[in-house]
């Protein structure tokens, strides 16, 4: 039996870490990791916050003075398709620490309204987006990198049965 990933979900705003949100986030992360070929036990830490919480983190870590929807803090400097090595596992836990994600639940609700879909779909999209960042994907250009990341996002959401 394969070891399971460790995915702690915490929140600094009331109600954000509901049982439903936590279960969805964990399912999406596991599906995204499997789709990217991650077959070893990993840790991904998730913080659910609001616009002011993510604004403070964005300002502190990236010197960007505004809220955003999701922040990703990868543990490794990877290229898309590249994975950490088994020896990167924490000796104490046996888990490879992929990194952290921070999601603004206020942005989830606002963007779901803006794009005309459910909060569930928006939260799933942001989680997939963040997992791909943790695994080295980026979208700094408007060309091939962004297209590659968008294609992976849609494929993973399709595997989850979460379409537009």
- Residue 129 known to bind ligand: yes
CA 135 – CA 122 distance, rounded (Å): 20
Pairing of strands 96-104, 9-11: unpaired
Q: How far apart are CA 29 and CA 70, in angstroms?
A: 14
Q: What's the first-to-final CA gap in the chain, in angstroms? A: 34
Residue 139, annotated ligand binder?
yes
| Contact predicate 67/104, CB 8 Å | yes
Determine if residue 133 is labeled as part of a ligand binding site: yes
Binding-site residue positions for Zn(2+): 129, 133, 139
Positions at the binding site: 129, 133, 139
């Amino acid at each position: 039996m394969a070891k399971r990933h460790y995915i702690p979900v915490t929140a600094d705003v009331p109600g954000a870490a509901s049982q439903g949100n936590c279960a969805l986030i964990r399912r999406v992360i596991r599906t995204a990791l499997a789709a990217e070929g991650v077959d070893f036990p990993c840790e991904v830490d998730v913080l659910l916050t609001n616009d002011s919480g993510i604004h403070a983190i964005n300002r502190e870590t990236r010197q960007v003075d505004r809220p955003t929807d999701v922040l990703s803090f990868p543990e490794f400097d990877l290229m898309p398709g590249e994975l950490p090595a088994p020896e990167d596992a924490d000796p104490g836990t046996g888990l490879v620490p992929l990194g952290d994600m921070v999601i603004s639940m206020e942005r989830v609700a606002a963007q779901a309204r803006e794009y005309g879909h459910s909060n569930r779909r928006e939260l799933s999209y942001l989680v997939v987006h963040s997992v791909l960042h943790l695994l080295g994907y980026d979208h700094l250009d408007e060309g091939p990198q962004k297209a590659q990341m968008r294609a992976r996002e849609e494929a993973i959401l399709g595997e989850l049965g979460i379409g537009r």
